[in-house]
Structure 1
Amino acid sequence: MTTLSDVQPTPGGADESAEDRRKRLRTVVAASLLGTTIEWYDFFLYATAASLVFNKIFFPDTSSTVGTMLAFATFAVGFVVRPVGGVVFGHVGDRIGRKKTLALTMVLMGVATALMGVLPTTAQIGVLAPILLLLLRVLQGFALGGEWAGAVLLAVEHSPPGKRGRFGSIPQIGLALGLALGTGVFALLQVVFDEEQFLSYGWRIAFLLSLVLVVVGIVVRLAVEETPAFREVEHLQQRSTAPFKQVFTGRRNIRNSILGLLSRWGEGAAFNTWGVFAITYATGTLAMNKVSVLLAVTVASLVMAVLLPVSGLLVERHGAQRVYLAGIAAYGVLVFPVFALFHTGNLALFGLGLILVFGIVHALFYGAQGTLYASLYPTEIRYTGLSVVYQFSGIYASGLTPLILTSLIAATNGAPWLACGFLVATSVISVVATVLIRPRDLHL
């Protein structure tokens, strides 16, 4: 079977000039970074809206807590359907290539997000409104199911020798920028409009902006070349006919899949705690100013974006497994101290805690994740394998986390400590699973 290292020394071909190589790599970086930024902007725009808008206009006849939980339940649905998209687009990506698949996922995501921006509210069309919202969220999740793995492979499989860690961190930067863009736009809109205007039509601007971003993203992605690793598989006629089945065939693939799924639990829980749930917790339970909280999340996301390439450099020096392990362990250690800072109700301490655990610590392990998971599978099933690990774990690791934390804090009358125990448990599970990944079973 072909591994990435088999084709890595000459990613653009033996006759590629230095200038052509630089041009190709610039296009790869732009396509991977811009594409994931737009996709994550679209996806997490919903998360921010679920915290601030959807619980009021799509679930208005419920208590504040129940309305928020219903909004987060529709948020979770996007994660439930992502594995379906991961399997479908993973199969397509392993059969026809990374480039075409990524263009298709972006179109679907952009359409779903823009339609949310023109969706009538419950007051206008009744129960049909939350049903349509749910269906569009399903389409979002389906599209994103094939996005992350393809973006990682676009970068990693094009990376020059010795720079795999840095290139593997590029798609992760897109996630941080997408979240920062989403929360930043929402903060700006709440400054420009009063609350009535914002809930009436202001929030829709953020969703309609997606159309402009998607057009730019598609143009850039269509300009990139197919990855050399996939072209090599095509040349050798080694494309898998059933990549999903192969992911769970053979002791090494089965072991890597199980450990990958468990190792991601902490990362998924961490991101959706600091990037999603923290907004609701701060503005609801702690009654902090909405704009200030959104700006704090935006700043922490930008810090993460700056530090992710540093994580990539550490991967090249120490290995993806060690860097990921160090970061995910640090997350577990800091959960209780950071929530103690949050619980003071002081905005400055809230921002400090968020920058520490989200901007710095999350950057450490998230920057290593793409390279680590890409090494779990051979080239011919790598798109499907990455999608399986990232998207199936997303159901319990990501999608359910805000709902679980909201329930645990409501059950303890606003105290976060039971929720903290849950988050620490996700870190412990991920640490153990990461330690059990054997270097001899990796394909890079």
Structure 2
Amino acid sequence: MLAATIATQSIEFYDFMIYGMAASLVFNKQFFPAINPVAGVLASFATFAVGFAARPLGAVVFGHIGDKYGRKPALLGSAVAMAVSTTLIGLLPTYSMIGAAAALLLVIFRIGQGIAVGGVWGGATLLAIEYAPAKRRGLFAAIPQIGTFAGLIAGIGVFMVITKVVSPEQFLGWAWRLPFLLTVVMFPVIFYVHRYIEDSPEFHEVEKTMAARSEERARDSSVIQVLRRPKYMLTVAFIFIPATVVFYMSSTGMIDYGVRDLGIAKPTMLAAVMLSVVGAAVSTLASGWLSDIVGRRPVYMGGVILAGIWSFAMFPLMDTKDFGLIVLALGVAQVALGAMFGPGITLFAEMFPPKIRYSGASMGYQLANILGGGLAPFIMVLLLESTHTTASASAYVAAVCAISLIPLSLAGRLQAQSREQEPVEQTG
């Protein structure tokens, strides 16, 4: 079951993240060539952010499908929606072919990606938590997140290979489409993975539980119940914002900064990001394991504090243009991210009673991605261009980290309230 959730996350986030790579490297030229380069980058990152705006809709739509019809159709539907949207982006005519309609279609397909990824996260992650031993939930919840980093590494690797074997002109002209079109070969993998999940005894047990509670959900859906207690969802969102900001600034925004502002070669920046993501994967597993021993909040708080402080060292190290120091700059940021990713998923799940956990954790998580991750590269470029100093971007990261410490301090109280509403063994 864990292998299946990792594979599902990998496929979904490969598709979602290659858009970020293309937004950093090519979309400003192919879809927004009529405006100046900086405005083109901002417009490109704006379309990147649109996908995040659609993610809560995916959490609601596929969460409802998963509650009413079972998890297999919800997970399968979200995976197919992602594969179709991504493939269509690879086939999309550019501005030079159909004018402004190209940008409009790009936004539509990006929305499709956002809806899809908003649906898969809750099912894959919470399935792992639900069947984990009570004292190992942190580790079991961290394991599926490896799929997120595996998808990112795979996406970067594909772009690295392409930029190595084709000329810059060929990459800009047609080769950028290849990572998107490779999604076609993933359709058989998608169906295999979801067939495996269907055959899992644990999955069938969940289906039986959902069927037994269908009458209750018909009277009052889990989405409505979550919206009636917004403080839970908002607490999750504001706790998780720093993780989303760090993730997308260090994996997407920094590619643009290194290539466009510092003149670093595309393959070099892609290699640096890929190496740094390995640090995030290791940190996520280690932090999830540690949270089972010392608690979720202390580990998460350590990641937040490290991210806020390190943001002021990251840009100066990048500015040296030394490959080793660039990897160090991004790697420590990714380690801080892992310290939030590892315990965070279980922390959020434990803030909701089981009957609304799927919708509540998913909606809070996706709201954080709107407010943080989706806007992070856009805000980073805007700050750098308007202030002409990297300190402004560092201050932005430090500010969101500091703000998140307030709701993090309230998480324990909400966990206690959740236990009172529906007792379940948890770790604070």
Q: 1:267: which partner in 2? A: 243
* Cα separation, 1, equivalents of 2:391 and 2:298: 29
Q: 1:209: which partner in 2? A: 182
* 1:243 corresponds to which of 215, 222, 225: 222
Using a 3 Å threshold, how does the CA distance of structure 1 residues 127 and 236 change in structure 2: closer, same or farther?
Answer: closer
SS at structure 1 position matched to 2:46:
helix
Amino acid at match of 2:357: R
* Cα separation, 1, equivalents of 2:313 and 2:173: 39
SS at structure 1 position matched to 2:217:
coil
Q: 2:102: which partner in 1? A: 129
* 2:310 corresponds to which of 313, 334, 359: 334
After superposing the two structures, state which structure 1 stretch, 335-344 or 259-268, moved more: 335-344
1:436 paired to 2:413:
no
CA-CA distance at 1:276 after TM superposition: 1.0
The CA deviation string for residues 262-294 of structure 1, in whole angstroms up to 9 with x for no partner, is 111111111111111011111111111110000
Using a 3 Å threshold, how does the CA distance of structure 1 residues 236 and 407 change in structure 2: closer, same or farther?
Answer: closer
Output aligned runs, 1:6-21, within 5 Å: none
* Cα separation, 1, equivalents of 2:367 and 2:231: 15
Amino acid at match of 2:404: S
* Cα separation, 2, equivalents of 1:47 and 1:291: 15
Q: 1:420: which partner in 2? A: 394
Output aligned runs, 1:101-180, within 5 Å: 101-180=74-153
The CA deviation string for residues 393-417 of structure 1, in whole angstroms up to 9 with x for no partner, is 221111111111111100122x211
CA contact (8 A) 1:98 1:154 kept: no
The CA deviation string for residues 282-325 of structure 1, in whole angstroms up to 9 with x for no partner, is 11111111100001101111232233221221121122222212
CA-CA distance at 1:222 after TM superposition: 2.3
Extract structure 1 runs of 4+ deviating beyond 4 A.
227-230, 236-239
Amino acid at match of 1:223: Y
Using a 3 Å threshold, how does the CA distance of structure 1 residues 67 and 390 change in structure 2: closer, same or farther?
Answer: same
* Cα separation, 1, equivalents of 2:140 and 2:215: 25
Q: 1:21: which partner in 2? A: none
1:38 paired to 2:11:
yes
Higher relative CO (CA 8 A, sep ≥ 6), structure 1 or 2?
A: 1
1:343 paired to 2:319:
yes
Q: 2:300: which partner in 1? A: 324
Using a 3 Å threshold, how does the CA distance of structure 1 residues 384 and 327 change in structure 2: closer, same or farther?
Answer: same
Q: 1:5: which partner in 2? A: none
* Cα separation, 2, equivalents of 1:238 and 1:307: 42
The two structures, once aligned, show a CA RMSD in angstroms of 1.7
Q: 2:423: which partner in 1? A: none
CA contact (8 A) 2:68 2:214 kept: no
* Cα separation, 1, equivalents of 2:117 and 2:23: 18
Amino acid at match of 2:360: G
Output aligned runs, 1:218-257, within 5 Å: 218-224=191-197, 225=200, 226=203, 228=205, 231-235=208-212, 239-241=216-218, 242-249=221-228, 253-257=229-233
Q: TM-score normalized by structure 2? A: 0.92
Unaligned residue ranges in structure 2 (runs of 5+): 420-425
* Cα separation, 1, equivalents of 2:333 and 2:184: 32
Relative to total residues, which structure has the larger helix share, 1 or 2?
A: 2
CA-CA distance at 1:238 after TM superposition: 7.0
The CA deviation string for residues 204-258 of structure 1, in whole angstroms up to 9 with x for no partner, is 1111111222420331122213274564354355753321110133xxx443222
1:193 paired to 2:166:
yes
CA-CA distance at 1:91 after TM superposition: 1.9
* Cα separation, 1, equivalents of 2:204 and 2:328: 40
How many percent of aligned residue pairs carry the same amino acid?
Answer: 36
CA contact (8 A) 1:82 1:145 kept: yes
